[in-house]
Amino acid sequence: MRRKIKNIFLTGLAVVVPIGVTVYILFFLIAMMDGFLAIIPAAIYPDRLLGFHVPGLGVIFTFILIFLVGLITKSWIGNKLVGIGEKFFSRIPVVRSLYQGTKQLVDALFTAKAGSFKKVVLFEYPRKGIYTVGFVTGRVRGELQEKAGETYLNVFVPTTPNPTSGYYLMVPEQDVINTEMTVEEAFKLVISGGLVVPGDKAKT
């Protein structure tokens, strides 16, 4: 009886915890996005115009703001302004590392700059018999390729639980095993520490 009660409790916990964490994060993000409304002049502040507060209005505002930023960035002037901003961030030691790492990851996931980063591979690292998941960012070229003498791939190995940090490795192409995983699936695998496995069919 005690074991049955324990199993029922753990089953309920397995359902409640993911839902609770998801809801908490959603409410946190919505509250954070609502905070972006503070940049709107008081005269046209939504709460003042409507006479009451509308929860989640910041989400709509944030999406509109992101769209407008993207629209402006597509223009020549916007592109120049982004370039100036990137040069400014690149001169600040700590901020430079955070910004460049995050930007490269976002570019790889959401923009046309992704290139071959969409390829998820498996290879032995840090020693034979131990495998890790990595993202191919391209082939090694130039002086490094000439010195290596054979075909090597540039591979980014994300760390758990923060995939925005990781290692850059040059791996022989012959040692790389291609996978069917998408980038999103691989990130779920890394972030969860192996708890969420793509294509895993639990036995019942």
Q: For 119-154, how does the pLDDT look when each residue is reduced to its tens digit (9 = 90+)?
A: 899 999 999 999 999 999 888 888 888 888 888 999
HEC readout, 66-85: HHHHHHHHCCHHHHHHHHHH
What is the crossing angle of helices 2-35 and 57-73, to 10°? 60
Q: What sign for the dihedral angle of Cα 182, 184, 187, 188?
A: negative
Query: Which pLDDT band, with edges at 50, 70 and 90, does 82 fall under?
Result: confident
Rounded-to-integer distance, Cα 161 and Cα 191, Å: 4
Give yes or no for residue 172 having a pLDDT over 90.
yes
In this predicted structure, what is the pLDDT of residue 38?
66
Q: What is the DSSP annotation of 162-198?
A: -TTSEEEEEEEGGG-EE-S--HHHHHHHHHTTTSS-T
pLDDT, average across residues 83-90: 81
In this predicted structure, what is the pLDDT of residue 203?
44
In this predicted structure, what is the pLDDT of residue 63?
78
Sorted by where each begins, the domain ranges of the chain are: 2-110, 114-191
What rounded mean pLDDT belongs to the chain?
78
pLDDT tens digits for 34-69? 776 666 666 666 666 666 666 667 677 777 777 888
Give yes or no for residue 84 having a pLDDT over 90.
no
E strands of the chain, at which residues?
A: 119-124, 131-139, 152-158, 166-172, 177-178
Name which of 118, 111, 148 is nearest 134 in CA terms: 118
Least confident interval from 96-100, 104-108, 143-147, 172-176: 104-108
> Under CATH, which architecture does the 114-191 domain have?
Roll (2.30)
Query: Strand, helix or coil at 123?
Result: strand
